[in-house]
Amino acid sequence: MYNPAHFAVTDLAALHRIIRAHPLGMLVTAGSSGLDANHIPFELDAATAPLGTLRAHVARANPVWQQCADGAAVLVVFRGAEAYISPNWYPSKHETHRLVPTWNYEVVHAHGRISIRDDEAYVRGVVARLTRRHEATEPKPWKMGDSAPEYIDGMLRAIVGIEITVDRLEGKSKLSQNREARDRLGAAETLLTRGADELGQQMRDAG
């Protein structure tokens, strides 16, 4: 992707933060029928590879796991916070009238090699960990044990695991760093007042 140096994110912790905060990744694959994209919630394991490992599952009925050979190159796109930015939010606009609208956002591209994991123990582990994480804020978190074992077993047979060893991470945080500090902060404060807390805070901290 086009990534000017002042927007590029190279810190591994910052890249992992975006992935963990926005785990619904777009898995892009290339097969005999061309490009394909699937939207999948991923689990990031930062400990098993230098740049991390991504784990997920897809429906057995989804042909992506049969179209991708083990070791095939894939791309997963994680879109972070994003919002339209009006030039009216920049204090300097009212002095120079030489600013235009833009769109601010954070995104991570994870490049790697895919492995298909068609075994019950693997998918059970992935589902259990994803469930624990995303149910953690519920008053009474759901767990697989809440359902009858035969029901869960049947559901697990209907999915296939995938694992991606990440070999390159490319991050971009477009947060008005190319504007005057007062303009960046003015836009950040407007976003915060409108409830776009994540992007507003990232823009506030970008200096």
**What is the rounded end-to-end Cα distance, in angstroms, of the chain?**
23
Q: Is the confidence at residue 93, as pLDDT, over 90? A: no
Question: What is the model's pLDDT at position 123?
Answer: 97
Q: Which of 169, 197, 186, 207 is nearest to 10 (CA)?
A: 169
Q: How far apart are CA 92 and CA 84, in angstroms?
A: 18
**Domain annotation for the chain: domains and CATH numbers:** 8-82+102-178 (2.30.110.10)
| CB contact at 8 A, 30 and 114 | no
Encode pLDDT of 12-24 as tens digits.
999 999 999 999 9
The 10s digit of each residue's pLDDT in 120-177 is 999 999 999 999 999 999 999 999 999 999 999 999 999 999 999 999 999 999 999 9
Q: What's the pLDDT band for 95 if we cut at 50, 70, 90?
A: confident
If residue 97 lies in a helix (H) or strand (E), which one and from where to where? none
Single-letter amino acid, residue 133: R
Average pLDDT, the chain: 95
Q: What is the mean pLDDT of residues 171-200?
A: 96
Tokens standing for residue 30: 């290339």
> What residues are paired with 170 via a beta bridge?
109
Give one DSSP letter per residue of 110-179, joined into a string: EEEEEEEE--HHHHHHHHHHHHHHHHTTSSS---GGGS-HHHHHHHHHTEEEEEEEEEEEEEEEESSTTS
Global confidence as pTM: 0.93
